[in-house]
Structure formats: C-alpha cells, structure tokens
A and B are shown apart, each in its own frame.
Chain A
Amino acid sequence: MNQTLSLLVENKSGVLARIAGLFSARGYNIESLSVAKTDDPTLSHITMVVDLEPRIVEHLLKLLDKMIDVISVANLSGGKMVERELVLLKVRVDPAQRMEILKEAELFRARVIDVGSDSYIFEATGDTEKIEAFIDLFRKYTIEEVARTGAVAMSRGLTSPHRVTATGRSK
C-alpha cells in the first residue's frame, strides 16, 4: 500500500543521500520523491511515497527521525491530506490530430506549454490517480517523453505535523 511521508530536513549536502540510503540499504524502492527548500531557505521539505507494510514504515520513520539532519517526520497517509503532482508530457502530433489531442487534454485541464511543428508538451497537475489517467489517455498517440515531479503533499487544516521553533521541533 502506498504511503506518503513528509519530512522536514536541513537544506544541506548529503542529507538526501542519508535518507535514500536508509531505504536502499534494505532493498526498498522509493516510488516517488520530491525535494525543495521551503519558505525558510535553511529547510527543505521532502515528500516521499513508498509501497511498504505499515509496520516497516513505522520503523523507518523512527530511523529517519533519529538522523541529525532530519528535523521532523510524519506519515500523512494516516490522516487527511492533499496530494498533488505535476507531469510534463510530450506527444507526437499529426496535423490531422491536433484538434482532437487539444480537446482531450482540456478534459484534464492540461495546458500546452510548448508547440512544435509535430509535437506538443502538456502540463497537468493533480493527484497521482489523475496524472496516471492523463498519461493513459495519451497512449493511443505517440508519447515521446514523460517527466513527473512525484507527489508533494500536506496535511489538511492548521494541524501541521511539522512545527519548528528556533531551537528545535515541537510536537
């Protein structure tokens, strides 16, 4: 079962390697991973999706929490959350299909962000299910390239699992 993990970490060299190493050392795959700095440039937010048993995830979260550079961890799948990812999809277009392809993309509220003589690049956002449906829709054409960000996620409302004070985390 996919589980979405949210981590607040120091924005420093080596931190991602440390986190990824915890999974690779056990032969676990990370289904998706997205990392960038937050409003505070010293902090990065990581959203990770893993397909592992809850018992294993619970243990891994404790190990992640132990890392000096990891400030706070949470399993968002346990509660209410919003999850989004973004996809760029490049599709080959014959002149005869142009209108049809644009119409279909519109159903997903995808935007054209590049128009070539025989290609489009679409940008679409949504939860993972929607992104996959969007990609599936284009399989009948010739998909040239797909790049996905992986999920970014947050818990709903003001109940953030990550509350950081100047001296450390508070939970």
Chain B
Amino acid sequence: MSMKGARIFVECLLRENVEVIFGIPGGVVLSIYDELYDAPIKHVLMRHEQAAAHAADGYARASGKVGVCLATSGPGATNLVTGIVTAHMDSVPLVVFTGNVPTHLIGNDAFQEADIVGITRPCTKHNYLVRRTEDLPRVIKEAFYIASTGRPGPVLVDMPKDLLLSEAEFSYPETVSLRGYRPVVEADRRQIEAAARALMEAKRPVVYAGGGVITSGASAELLEVAELAEIPVTTTLMGIGGFPTVHRLSLGMLGMHGTWYANTAISHADLLFAIGVRFDDRVTGKLEEFAAEAKKIHVEIDPSEINKNVPVDLPILGDAKAVLQQLKPYLIEMRAKMPPEWHDERRAWITQIERWKREHPLCYDDDEEVIKPQRLIEEISRATRGDAIISVDVGQHQMWAAQFYRFKRPRTWLSSSGLGTMGFGFPAAIGAQMARPDQLVVAIVGDGGFQMTMQELATVAEHRLPVKVVIVNNAYLGMVRQWQQIFFNGRYSAVDLSLSPDFARLAEAFGIVGYRVTRPAALADTIEEAFSIPGPVVLDVHVAPEENVYPMVPPGASIKEMIEGQYKSPKTFQLT
C-alpha cells in the first residue's frame, strides 16, 4: 500500500510496539505530528528536548524496552545531544528521531538546519540520514534492532522533511540483514568451566557486577551464583539493584564513594569476577593498584571493553545472564565435591568481610536541629520499603542515595552514571513513571541539577504523573563545594545556590503540591504524607549545607586510600 512518509513512520513505530514517544513538535516534523494526532501512540509533550531524551532514557531503564523521542531539526535536534550522550555512556537503548530540512536544502545553512548526523556520530551506537521515503521501514527496523541488541545504545534517525511528505509503498521488513553487525555471542564452554573452577578454588573471591547485569536481566542468576560459590558481591553505580543492598554477601557499591569494605575486599581479593563492567576510572582509582593481587575474570558482551583498562586473565565474551546460567551447573557439581576445608576457608573470608562491615560501616552524625541528607535517604528508603523506582541527578545526593537506599530489585535505580548529567533525574523519572504507571517513582535531585530541567514540572502537571520530586537542598553545588573544600583550601568559587527559588511555591505555581521541610522532627511524617498523595509532589528538603560524602577516594589515588568521615557519635547504616 502506498502512503506518505509520515504515515509510514507511525506504522513502523506501531509494528515496533512503541507505546509512548517523548517529544516536541516543530516545522519539519509537522506531518508526523499530524499523523500522531489520531494514532494509538501516546505522545508526551516535554518542555525541552533534552528532557525528552532523558525521559525516553528513564522509560528504557525502568522497563528494559527501547525508549523513543522525537524532535524537530536544528535546535530541536541539538537540544537532544546531552540526552543522547547520557544514554550512550550508560548503554541505554534509545531510538531518537529528528526531522531535518528538505533534502535539496541540506548543507545550505537553511533555517533550523543542523548536521545532527555529523554531530551525533561519535555519541550514538549508529545513526542514519534517511535519503528516500522507501528506505524508512528498513532503517527504522534496523534502528530498533541495533539499539536493543548486543550492548545497547542510542540510534538516531534523521528524516528530511520532503521524504515525510512524499509517498512510497509500505511494507515492514520481517528481518534485519546487517553483515557488519553480529551482536549475539555465545561464550566458550571451556572458558566457562575454567571460570567455574577459578571461582571455587579462589580463597578470597569477589564479584564486581555492573550495568550489564541489569541490561541482560541477570540479577536472579547473579544471586544464585554468588550463593552457590559463596562469593561476596559489590556493584558499580550502574549495577545498583542488580544485587540486593541488604544481603549477607552484599558489599554495596565500590569505587570513589563506595563502601570501605567493598574497596578493601577488592584490594585483598585473590580473584575478581568482573561481570558487565568496564573498569571505569571512578571505580578503579589508580589502575595499577586496583585488585592488584587478584586474578581477573571479565565477562563482557562488548569485545572492545576487554583488556581496555586492565589486563584480564580470563576473558569471557558473552551475555551476562547466559554466562551465569552456563556457570551454574559447573558450580553445583564442583561444590558437591569440595572438601570440608573449602567451607572453612570461605567462612573465614566472609567473616573477615563481616568484620570490615562492622568496623567501617557507612555512617553519619545525625542531628536534631538540621536534616542530614543521609537521614533523608534513609527515611525515603523506609517510607518506600525499598520498592520505589529511584531516579537521581548527579552529585552528593546521588552518592548518598546510592549508599543509603536499600535496593531490592533491578531497574529501580536510574542514574546518569557515565556522563554524570545534572538535570537527568527529574525527566528520567517522568519516563519511568510512563513505563511503570503503578509504581512509586521518586526523583531524588539536588537543588543544582533540578534547576537545569525543572521546567518539566509543567509536563507532570499536565499528565498528572504522580512523580515525587525530593530536592536534597543544601543551597550549594554540593559536590563541587566538597572538592573545593578538600582540594582548593575551601575557596568556594561559584557554588552558592542560596538564592534559589522557594521550590514548594514554585511547584504550586505549576498546580503541584509543594512541601518545604527544614526540621528533622517533621521529616518522616512529611515524606509519608507527600508520598500518599496520588498526584505529583515536590518536597523541598533543606539539609545540612556542608555535609560531605564519605568514604572518598581522591581522584587518581588507589582505592585503598580512602578518606573516611570523622564523626562524633556516628549513626551507622544497618545492613540487616
């Protein structure tokens, strides 16, 4: 059947089971918006294209499906870029559609023209400039396939206006044929067996699990394998939710603001089982000293990550879930044959770790006069029983949330971990709420980051999305202030946010319920009340302005060299 390009676009999305698009219309995509007017696809009108990309990203992270966003040419397209890079760094599947000026004007400096394919070439998994209307179905099919397979990532499809208006025969391809792309890899059986043996024979093994565990849906398998082989597990920032925070084998997060015991266990380990991770600099600190005593196994789907930062002893190219499933029978068989001494050795290692947990817990000095940010996170954790989807921004509040919230499940932690994009948390929460309408979604943001995308209050108000925004308001760009305090002699340069708006009243201006909390005594009740409101809520929580995130590995230092907080009467984070 012959139809216009714009109609073909909508038909393709329907065949990819797209439920929701986040976007903003404009000149060259008017024909698409005319088709969307009565199409059975929900469109969420965002107030800035950056937020559209983050919302699609939050949708994808919370659901595991491909997130879709749409913008017009020129500024619409360029505004998406931060969101695209964010998704690229964290391997989030997005298909990003942009309109472009008509083909005959491309390269002509036409009104609202930008070379978005050129701009996004290094920050997409792949991108396309569609040249003919009849290519649209193939390109869109490929875009969804590439975005969601292998190591996922964003794919951009740029569509000149004229080919949305001209007609072509429509048929949606059944299959994809890309001779340069083979995302499915099956791990080598001998390597699996060698890994199983190494896991069982190690004296001090540690699992270092990352975002790949979440992406491949491997958290149940990870738990099984960890329990079978009796191995403690630490997760990266991206891996949070991949292993329960509260578990006898849980070490919490490792790295720059990881737990003392996770970093210490890594430094003492004789075997590191790295799965779905990329040895990021915020994790490893000084590379030569990272897990220096350990033999390293690296399970990874992307061959270019193997041996990139750290030489690996046993690389296993494959999908995290598949590899863990393959490991299981070997572990069961080997465990049954292990001598009694094996159990003693394991018990000794785990006892050692338990001692570290007791001696160096996460902690803070609580206060009755001023709200401590760590306590705020603990109250949110308590009020939501660890069941909420937590979407965060970037900075101190992000680290406190990573440390003090008790996560139970994958896809409940949305964080711009690689790029570190301030302004991500709130729009990503919007996307997550669209994906999971019945689940409580809490955006924990800083007063700095929130001001980068707070225009989206209009979006949640319009759709009555029950997102709960908690502003961890310390009236500073807090993490920058912390670094200035520690590394620049306390010369606080350009970090003072004390002249921010009254966020509760700002929320009210958007027709959203706003709370302002300043006293510790009122905190728990206000959270309880706010979270029980069926619509959107903004909770502006004024916290201790100069609280620091600890432990802290100074940039470039070994993860053994942690700065620990000095507390008078520390309240410790209970791991039971």
Q: How far is the CA of A164 from the CA of B306 in the complex (A)?
A: 25
Encode A63-107 as 1/0 by CB contact (under 8 A) with B: 101111111000000000000000000000000000000000000
Query: Which B residues are in CB contact (< 8 Å) with A13?
Result: 129
In contact, A21 and B179 (Cβ under 8 angstroms) = no
Query: Which A residues are in CB contact (< 8 Å) with B180?
Result: 9-10, 67-71, 168-169
Interface size class of A (residues with CB under 8 A): 20 to 34
A11-61 at interface with B (beta carbon < 8 Å): 13-14, 17-18, 21-22, 25, 58-59
Query: Which B residues are in CB contact (< 8 Å) with A167?
Result: 177, 179
In contact, B304 and A18 (Cβ under 8 angstroms) = no
Select which of A25, A66, A70, A165 is within 8 A of B122 by beta carbon.
A25
Select which of A58, A65, A71 is within 8 A of B179 by beta carbon.
A71
Select which of B117, B179, B304, B307 is within 8 A of A14 by beta carbon.
B117
Q: How far is the CA of A66 from the CA of B122 in the complex (A)?
A: 13
Q: How far is the CA of A68 from the CA of B118 in the complex (A)?
A: 16
In contact, A21 and B121 (Cβ under 8 angstroms) = yes
Answer whether residue B354 sits at the interface, using C-beta atoms and an 8 A cutoff: no
In contact, A21 and B117 (Cβ under 8 angstroms) = no
Select which of A58, A68, A169 is within 8 A of B126 by beta carbon.
A68
Answer whether residue B464 sits at the interface, using C-beta atoms and an 8 A cutoff: no
Q: How far is the CA of A14 from the CA of B304 in the complex (A)?
A: 22
Closest to A61 in B: B304
Using A17-B121, A167-B179 as known contacts, say yes or no to A68 and B129 having CB atoms under 8 A apart: no
In contact, A68 and B122 (Cβ under 8 angstroms) = no
Answer whether residue A62 sits at the interface, using C-beta atoms and an 8 A cutoff: yes
CB distance from B310 to the nearest CB of A (A): 12
Using A17-B121, A18-B121 as known contacts, say yes or no to A68 and B178 having CB atoms under 8 A apart: yes
Answer whether residue B487 sits at the interface, using C-beta atoms and an 8 A cutoff: no
Answer whether residue B308 sits at the interface, using C-beta atoms and an 8 A cutoff: yes
B304-362 at interface with A (beta carbon < 8 Å): 304, 306-308
Answer whether residue B111 sits at the interface, using C-beta atoms and an 8 A cutoff: no
CB distance from A38 to the nearest CB of B (A): 14
In contact, B179 and A59 (Cβ under 8 angstroms) = no
In contact, B304 and A168 (Cβ under 8 angstroms) = no
Using A17-B121, A25-B122 as known contacts, say yes or no to A59 and B182 having CB atoms under 8 A apart: no
In contact, A66 and B129 (Cβ under 8 angstroms) = no
Query: Which A residues are in CB contact (< 8 Å) with B302?
Result: 66
In contact, B304 and A68 (Cβ under 8 angstroms) = no
In contact, A62 and B304 (Cβ under 8 angstroms) = yes
Query: Which A residues are in CB contact (< 8 Å) with B178?
Result: 68, 168
Answer whether residue B567 sits at the interface, using C-beta atoms and an 8 A cutoff: no
Encode B118-134 as 1/0 by CB contact (under 8 A) with A: 10011001100100000
Q: How far is the CA of A22 from the CA of B304 in the complex (A)?
A: 13
Q: How far is the CA of A159 from the CA of B461 in the complex (A)?
A: 65
Interface size class of B (residues with CB under 8 A): 20 to 34
Answer whether residue B303 sits at the interface, using C-beta atoms and an 8 A cutoff: yes
- Judged by DSSP, the binding face of A is mixed
Using A167-B179, A168-B182 as known contacts, say yes or no to A65 and B303 having CB atoms under 8 A apart: yes
Select which of A59, A62, A68 is within 8 A of B181 by beta carbon.
A68
CB distance from A55 to the nearest CB of B (A): 8
Answer whether residue B146 sits at the interface, using C-beta atoms and an 8 A cutoff: yes
In contact, B179 and A66 (Cβ under 8 angstroms) = no
CB distance from B178 to the nearest CB of A (A): 6
Closest to A66 in B: B304
B406-420 at interface with A (beta carbon < 8 Å): none
Closest to A164 in B: B179
In contact, B122 and A21 (Cβ under 8 angstroms) = yes
Query: Which B residues are in CB contact (< 8 Å) with A165?
Result: 179
Q: How far is the CA of A18 from the CA of B117 in the complex (A)?
A: 10
Q: How far is the CA of A17 from the CA of B146 in the complex (A)?
A: 20
Query: Which A residues are in CB contact (< 8 Å) with B179?
Result: 71, 164-169
Using A68-B146, A68-B178, A169-B180 as known contacts, say yes or no to A14 and B121 having CB atoms under 8 A apart: yes
Select which of B118, B121, B304, B306 is within 8 A of A63 by beta carbon.
B304
Closest to B127 in A: A14
Query: Which B residues are in CB contact (< 8 Å) with A10?
Result: 180
Closest to A167 in B: B179
CB distance from A23 to the nearest CB of B (A): 11
Query: Which B residues are in CB contact (< 8 Å) with A9?
Result: 180
Query: Which A residues are in CB contact (< 8 Å) with B303?
Result: 62, 65-66
* Residue from B126, B182, B302, B304 whose CB has the most chain A CB atoms within 10 Å: B304
* Residue from A10, A13, A59 whose CB has the most chain B CB atoms within 10 Å: A59
Q: How far is the CA of A18 from the CA of B308 in the complex (A)?
A: 20
CB distance from B170 to the nearest CB of A (A): 23
CB distance from A57 to the nearest CB of B (A): 13
CB distance from B200 to the nearest CB of A (A): 31
Query: Which B residues are in CB contact (< 8 Å) with A63?
Result: 304
* Residue from A66, A69, A167 whose CB has the most chain B CB atoms within 10 Å: A66
B171-227 at interface with A (beta carbon < 8 Å): 177-182
Query: Which A residues are in CB contact (< 8 Å) with B308?
Result: 59
Query: Which A residues are in CB contact (< 8 Å) with B126?
Result: 67-68
Q: How far is the CA of A22 from the CA of B122 in the complex (A)?
A: 8
Q: How far is the CA of A58 from the CA of B180 in the complex (A)?
A: 19
Q: How far is the CA of A164 from the CA of B125 in the complex (A)?
A: 23
Q: How far is the CA of A166 from the CA of B181 in the complex (A)?
A: 13
Closest to A59 in B: B308
Query: Which B residues are in CB contact (< 8 Å) with A25?
Result: 122
Which positions in B face A, CB cutoff 8 Å?
A: 117-118, 121-122, 125-126, 129, 146, 177-182, 302-304, 306-308
Q: Which 7 A-B pairs have the closest CB atoms?
A: A62-B304, A168-B179, A71-B180, A68-B126, A68-B181, A63-B304, A62-B303
Which positions in A face B, CB cutoff 8 Å?
A: 9-10, 13-14, 17-18, 21-22, 25, 58-59, 62-63, 65-71, 164-169
Task: Identify 10 new A-B residue pairs, CB closer than 8 A, beyond the known A59-B308, A66-B304, A168-B179.
Answer: A9-B180, A10-B180, A14-B121, A25-B122, A63-B304, A66-B302, A66-B303, A67-B180, A168-B181, A168-B182
What are 19 sample pairs from A and B whose C-beta atoms fall under 8 A apart?
Answer: A13-B129, A17-B118, A21-B122, A22-B122, A25-B122, A59-B307, A62-B303, A62-B306, A65-B303, A66-B302, A66-B303, A67-B126, A67-B180, A68-B180, A68-B181, A71-B180, A167-B177, A168-B179, A169-B182
